[in-house]
Amino acid sequence: MKNVKVLGSGCKNCTVTVELINDIFQQQGVEFELEKVQDMAQIMVYGVMSTPAVVINDVVVHKGSVPKKENVESWLAS
């Protein structure tokens, strides 16, 4: 099971990122837990200054923009 966190203020890009990850992971049949993190103190723990950011199993894999579909799919193999 993958633990996925989307870090951000709740802006439109953050919402789009959550939806994209949710859709692709479900289509691929991946077991995952998805959490939206909006608390700035928690976001700063990851050293992220630009959101949205994506954390998978406590590793920052993306930050600063909505990820491309290809990027999200590559996270499934990791």
**Mind telling me the catalytic residues?**
11, 14
Q: In a 3-state reduction of DSSP, which class is residue 55?
A: strand
How far apart are the C-alpha atoms of 32 and 4, rounded to whole Å?
A: 7
Cβ–Cβ under 8 Å, residues 60 and 48? yes
- Residue count (the chain): 78
